[in-house]
Structure 1
Amino acid sequence: MPAFSIYEKPNQPLEQTIDEAVMVAHRFSYLIFLVPAIWMLIKRLWLPLLAYILVSVGLALLDGLIPLWTSMLVSLIIAIWIAAEAPNLMGWALKRRGYEEVGLIYADNLEHCEARYIHARTHPADLMSTGSDGSGDPNNPNLLPWQEPKTPSVMPTQKDQDQPVIGLFPTSENA
């Protein structure tokens, strides 16, 4: 079941927020793999398109200096990377346009995702009544079912800062 990131414009009435919400599917796209430049043009991803064009022109200029298979391999890797990272590129562009990522919904297709999103936004009390199945947090009625609770950032204590950290885990005196 694919996942869909939900992007909303902040500080708008509920009806307008629902109308302007954008759902971005997280999946590999063969169409983007085949024609990444045209996809970036259609989606108005100008900065990634500029970077793609610069890399393509750079590869074309190096045509006589590097073997043909190397140029083809680099082009193939770039096309695979763009097709795999397309949802993140879309999310980045939406954030630049003032949208905020508010959550993630698992749905069969876009219509199912839209139905689940509209139901969650218009009937949050229905989803908050059951918290054991992961559909919401009954302790926090403002938390929608796809949102994670925000955890406070943890600052190291002075005792932790005095000792060097070796590897990923700092040592403890009691351990």
Structure 2
Amino acid sequence: MAIFTVHLPPTAQGAAPAPEKIVFLRDGFSWPAFFLGPFWLLWRRAWIAAAAWTALLTVIGLVAWKLKISRDAMSWLGLSLAVWLGLEGERIVAWALARRGYVETDVVVGDDEEEAEMAFFHRWRGIAPQARSGEQDA
């Protein structure tokens, strides 16, 4: 079973968010983030984080070249940074979502994202009629 955090997009007061705009982020290690680094961040629309990650890698590379640090040490540092991004990548994406106005509202458990969505919307359905009645009045 995996744990997912649920992020709702910004909406008008009392309006329910569009279900297709709700984002589910899996908590845990991300292999795509580990292997693809800044490209994964770009794909996840974390623009600032991708630019900062690229700048960090560039600065580290230039400093290592200037100080003539061994290739072995640089390989270990690169591997360490990749592991860190694999571990924290989803939290970085959550930060990028928060900058765009998304709010982390729930935590759900499921074998995969589809099952987590079903669990969330099953619970959300009990809340949604109140929001929907407000939408119908408008």
TM-score, L = length of structure 2:
0.80
Pair 1:2-2:5 in alignment: no
2:14, 2:101 → 1: CA distance?
A: 12
Q: Quote the residue 1:31 is aligned against.
A: 32
C-alpha deviation, 1:118, in angstroms: 0.9
Q: Deviations over 1:27-76 (max 9, x none)?
A: 21222211112101211212221222122212322225211111111111
Output the CA distance in 2 between the equivalents of 1:85 and 1:50. 16
1:92 and 2:115 equivalent? no
Looking at structure 1, the residues matched to 54 and 9 of structure 2 have their Cα atoms a distance apart, in angstroms, of: 31
Larger radius of gyration: 1
Stretch moving more, 115-124 or 87-96: 115-124
Task: Provide structure 1 residue ranges, at least 5 long, that are not aligned to the other structure.
Answer: 125-175
Q: Aligned Cα RMSD in Å?
A: 1.6
SS at match of 2:54: helix
Query: What CA deviation, in whole Å up to 9, does each residue of 1:63-112 have, x standing for no partner?
Result: 25211111111111111101110110111011001011101111111111
Contact 1:63-1:71 at 8 Å conserved across structures: no
Please say which of residues 53-62 and 101-110 is displaced more in the overlay: 53-62
Pick one of 13, 16, 30 that aligns with 2:15.
13
Q: Which amino acid in the other structure matches residue 75 of structure 1? A: G
* Matched residue SS, 1:57: helix
Q: Which amino acid aligns with 1:9?
A: P
- What are the superposed Cα offsets for residues 96-139 of structure 1, whole Å, 9 maximum, x if unpaired? 01011101111111111111111111125xxxxxxxxxxxxxxx
Higher-helix-fraction structure = 2
Equivalent positions of 1:60-71 (< 5 A) are 60-61=61-62, 62-63=64-65, 65-71=68-74
| CA distance in 1: counterparts of 2:96 and 2:79, whole angstroms | 24
In structure 1, the residue corresponding to 2:65 is in which secondary structure? coil
Percent identity between the aligned chains?
Answer: 24
Q: Number of residues paired by the alignment?
A: 123
In the TM superposition, structure 1's runs of 4+ consecutive aligned residues that sit over 6 Å from their partners are none
TM-score, normalised via structure 1 length? 0.65
Aligned to 1:101: 104
Match of residue 131 from structure 2: none
